[in-house]
Structure 1
């Protein structure tokens, strides 16, 4: 399906002016580029893998915008490629390591105000009419929501604030 037909079908958002700027500076990319190295091409041949920076920028756009995968602007690799890389990077801990490197750099530069922060509850659904003290149905058992986006945004080890050097 061409980009034109997607737009006509209404499945893509109109590009905005901020869609045209890079999500990550060259300086910040150089700090984490080694984490996203592409494997060498197979001796059997085949299509080369999409540029990891373009895929990472697509992931950043998705996380920043909160849009649906199908709304990924055409300036990025295909949504299936970006999503597949996102899943691989979350599963392998690559996004977690990249996040920590970038946060440490910003912290050293004094660009993080640790006194301010917020929790985004957009992925925490509440059942309508459910009592806060109601017990979960035993047949269903307790469930916790989990998504790759949430996994990418959670810090699995000690927080940077606790770990930063004094």
Structure 2
């Protein structure tokens, strides 16, 4: 799971087993942030449409969770927040940038720590390329 800023640059990465539900990994991803201050809004998909998670993030971390409602949800959807949801493609672009490296696209490492190290190395390279675009890394 990854957290990206408005430019699609990585702010946090966290790995877990493939059988884990994504919204359960939210706290671990926020704790693994590379930056000192987290963004005030977190744009997610329908899987995060849970009132308990929204309240916990708002009270404990001051982060507003923006997620479209599920079909069976009873809460009222604010249309202004869904306009921000259209920018979620930047996170998907981050995953595409990371998957350009074969070592990340196909997990060859047996240990999760080694794979996380390669993902973090990929994030560092992306950040360095953004800071110095003319340098070839």
- Which bracket does the TM-score occupy, shorter chain normalised? under 0.3
Which has a greater percent of strand?
2
**TM-score, normalised with respect to structure 2:** 0.25
Greater C-alpha Rg = 1
**TM-score, normalised with respect to structure 1:** 0.21
